C-alpha cells in the first residue's frame, strides 16, 4: 500500500505539490489559532459591535481568508489530479495510454538497471481486428477492446502494469519477472482472450511477443525487440506466444 502511494505521488507531481501546500497552510492556520486564541475572537461576535477590538477583527478576517484559501487549494488539487489522470489514461479502456506507458517503462528500466533486477514486457495484438471493425462497425470494435482489457486485467498479477499502446495493441510490464515466467503469464492471457465471451459473432484471439531487459538495452531497443517478437507470432499463424 505504501509503495503504491509513493508511486502515485511520483506520477501526480502537481497534485502532490498542491497537497503539500495545503498541509502547510493547515499547520499555519492551526498555529495562528493557537497562539492568538482565534476561537475566543470568533466568540466575540456575540458581543455588541462597540466592544469589538481591532486585533480581534483582523484575526477573524485572517481565519476566514485562510478557510477560503484552503477551499481553493483543495479544489485546485482535485482539478489538477483529474486533468493529470485524463492525460495519462485511455478514454475507452481506462488504462494507461502510450505517453504514460513510455514514462512507466523508462522508470522501470532505470530501476531494474540500478538494482540489477529482472524486467520483462509482453506486447499483444488482437488478431484480425480490422475485420471486426469492418464487419461489425467501430462501436462493436470498441466493445471488444473494452471487454478484452477487462479480461486481461483479471488475469494479471498485482505487480503487472497494463498499457493500451495504441489501437488494438497492448503492453504488459512484468516487474521482477524473468522471461520464462513472463511466457507463462502471456500464455494465460492468450487462453483468457480466446475463451472470452463472444459478442456479435466475434471470436477474438491475440498474438503475443515477449522479451526480457538486457544489459545494454535502451527503451527503444527494448520495444523494438518485443515488437519483432510480436511480428513473428503474427506471421507464423497468430493466436500464439513467441
What are phi and psi for residue 207, nearest 5 degrees? -110, 145
Task: For residues 209 and 81, give the distance between their C-alpha atoms in angstroms, rounded to a whole number.
Answer: 34
Q: What is the pLDDT of residues 71-95, one digit of tens each?
A: 767 776 776 666 666 678 888 998 9
- Quick one: cell of 237? 499463424
Instruction: State the Cα–Cα distance between residues 38 and 17, nearest whole angstrom.
Output: 28
Could you tell me how many helices (H) and strands (E) the chain has, helices first? 9, 4
Q: Is the pTM of this model over 0.85?
A: no
> Which pairs count as long-range contacts for 224-227, CB under 8 Å and 24+ apart, including other chains?
226/121, 226/122, 226/123, 226/171, 227/123
Residue 38 confidence class, pLDDT cut points 50, 70, 90: low
Average pLDDT, the chain: 81
**Region 124-129 average pLDDT:** 93
CA dihedral 184, 5, 10, 86 (to 10 degrees): 80
Q: Which of 168, 187, 215, 232 is catalytic?
A: 168
Question: Domain limits of the chain?
Answer: 2-88, 98-235
Question: Model confidence at 21, in pLDDT bands (50, 70, 90)?
Answer: low
CATH topology (fold) of 98-235: Alpha-Beta Plaits (3.30.70)
What pLDDT shows up at residue 49? 46
The span from the CA of 117 to the CA of 112, in Å, is 5
Average pLDDT over residues 49-53: 50
pLDDT at 74: 73
Residue 70 confidence (pLDDT): 73
The model's confidence at residue 40, banded by pLDDT at 50, 70 and 90, is low
Cβ pair 183, 118 in contact under 8 A: no
What distance in Å separates the CA atoms of residue 161 and residue 153, rounded to the nearest whole number?
9
- Taking CA 105 as the corner, what is the angle to CA 103 and CA 108, rounded to the nearest 5 degrees? 110
Assigned C-alpha cell, 50: 462597540
Task: Tell me the per-residue pLDDT of 199-219, one tens digit each, with 9 for 90 and over.
Answer: 667 788 999 999 999 999 999
pLDDT at 50: 47
Among residues of the chain, what percentage have pLDDT more than 70? 66
- Return d(Cα 15, Cα 13) in angstroms, integer: 6
Q: Is 131 a catalytic residue?
A: no
For 95-114, the pLDDT digits (tens) are 999 999 999 999 999 999 99
Predicted pLDDT at 4: 59
Bridge partners of 176, per DSSP, are none
Q: Kindly compute the dihedral angle of the four CA atoms of residues 16, 19, 20, 25, in this order, to the nearest 10 degrees.
A: 160
* pLDDT average, residue stretch 31-59: 57
Amino acid at each position: 500500500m505504501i509503495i503504491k502511494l509513493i508511486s502515485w505521488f511520483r506520477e501526480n507531481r502537481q497534485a502532490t505539490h498542491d497537497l503539500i501546500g495545503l498541509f502547510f497552510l493547515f499547520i499555519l492556520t492551526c498555529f495562528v489559532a493557537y497562539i492568538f486564541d482565534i476561537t475566543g475572537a470568533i466568540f466575540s461576535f456575540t458581543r455588541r459591535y462597540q466592544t469589538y477590538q481591532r486585533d480581534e477583527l483582523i484575526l477573524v478576517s485572517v481565519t476566514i481568508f485562510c478557510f477560503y484559501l484552503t477551499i481553493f487549494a483543495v479544489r485546485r488539487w482535485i482539478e489538477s489530479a483529474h486533468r493529470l489522470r485524463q492525460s495519462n489514461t485511455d478514454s475507452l479502456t481506462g488504462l494507461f495510454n502510450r505517453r504514460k506507458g513510455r514514462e512507466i517503462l523508462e522508470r522501470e528500466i532505470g530501476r531494474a538497471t540500478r538494482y540489477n533486477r529482472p524486467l520483462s514486457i509482453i506486447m499483444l495484438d488482437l488478431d484480425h481486428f480490422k475485420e471486426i471493425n469492418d464487419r461489425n462497425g467501430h462501436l462493436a470494435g470498441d466493445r471488444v477492446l473494452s471487454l478484452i482489457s477487462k479480461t486481461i486485467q483479471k488475469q494479471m498479477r498485482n505487480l503487472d502494469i497494463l498499457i493500451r499502446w495504441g489501437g488494438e495493441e497492448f503492453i504488459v510490464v512484468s516487474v521482477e519477472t524473468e522471461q520464462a515466467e513472463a511466457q507463462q503469464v502471456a500464455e494465460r492471457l492468450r487462453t483468457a482472450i480466446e475463451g472470452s465471451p463472444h459478442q456479435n459473432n466475434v471470436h477474438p484471439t491475440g498474438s503475443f511477443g515477449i522479451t526480457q531487459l538486457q544489459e545494454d538495452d535502451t527503451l527503444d531497443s527494448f520495444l523494438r525487440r518485443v515488437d519483432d517478437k510480436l511480428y513473428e507470432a503474427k506471421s507464423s499463424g497468430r493466436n500464439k506466444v513467441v
